[in-house]
Amino acid sequence: MSQNISILLVDDEAELLENIAMTLEAADFYVEKANNGQEALNALKAQSFNLILADIAMPDMNGYQLLDRIRENQRWASVPFVFLTARKLDSDIRYGKSLGVDDYLTKPINAEDLLAVVQGKLRRAKYLQSQPQPQPKIDFIATTHNVEVGPLKMDIERHQVRLRNRNIKLSAREFALLEVFARNPNKVFSTRQLITVTHENLKDHGSNTDALVRSIIHSLRRKMGNYIENVRGLGYRLVLPEA
């Protein structure tokens, strides 16, 4: 199971960092070490990991802050995250769980407990990834031929768009995306939802989902202005333009 598994290990205690890394590497895991939260974020930007193990009490960016930054990023949000900590108070544990931590290992860390938790979290993540993920459907009633949002007017049947009395030429995918936003102003849509509108027949979007949607959003902004807002970690929404 450990073959090709990458683990990000974060702790400002050099000796502990080395000892835990040695235990994991002896079990054939690949380990990337970081001495603080910022180094961990830099590592995440450079490569992908199957699991994150992080201390809580670290300078500059503690474990709670690191977990919060990771959970708000779509690329990293699903990576299992385990705290390595000397904090055993119920209040500390509850706070970590409220942020979305997957488990705790309390110091001093027993090698058998460490490997049991790591293997359990990896097994669970693998199981979840193997399950078919139903594509979320965008729910709107497309019965009307005209949509108006402030100064934005769309004639669906004629495939025409006017913004402040200016005609805007859009491609089929740009038009489809704008229609969804216009029918649901201020509602946030994830890229996984939007890709089903713009690339309906694309069977496997994979890691290209964000890039495909982002390209269309960029084109819409260039033609219309910055009315489509990026909601960090969640997706995009149409901000009602002023008349």
Give me the DSSP letters along 82-98: EEEES---HHHHHHHHH
The residue with tokens 């690191």 is 66
Least confident of 55-59, 85-89, 110-114: 85-89
In the chain, the domains with their CATH numbers are 6-130 (3.40.50.2300), 146-238 (1.10.10.10)
pLDDT, position 172? 87
Cβ-in-10-Å burial (0-12, 13-18, 19+) of 199 comes to: middle
pLDDT, position 76? 85
> Collapsing DSSP states into helix, strand and coil, what is residue 112?
helix
What one-letter code names the amino acid at 142? A
- Measure the CA–CA gap between 65 and 237, rounded to whole angstroms: 27
Q: Residues 31-59: what's their mean pLDDT?
A: 93
What confidence tens digit (pLDDT) does each residue in 63-103 have?
Answer: 989 988 888 777 888 899 999 988 666 676 777 776 678 88
pLDDT, position 243? 52
164 conformational bin, left if phi > 0, alpha if psi -120 to 50, beta if neither: left
End-to-end CA distance of the chain: 59
Closest CA to 5 of 38, 27, 22: 27
pLDDT, position 164? 86
pLDDT, position 141? 47
Using the predicted structure, report yes or no on whether residue 190 has a pLDDT greater than 90. no
3-state helix, strand, coil in the chain (%, to 5): 40, 20, 40
Q: Residues 28-44: what's their mean pLDDT?
A: 94
Using the predicted structure, report yes or no on whether residue 207 has a pLDDT greater than 50. no
Cβ-in-10-Å burial (0-12, 13-18, 19+) of 11 comes to: buried
pLDDT, position 205? 46
Q: Cβ contacts of residue 150 below 8 Å, gap of 6+?
A: 240, 241, 242, 243
Across the chain, mean pLDDT equals 83
pLDDT band at 203 (very low <50, low <70, confident <90, very high): very low
Share of the chain above pLDDT 90, in %: 34
pLDDT band at 232 (very low <50, low <70, confident <90, very high): confident
Q: Residues 154-166: what's their mean pLDDT?
A: 89
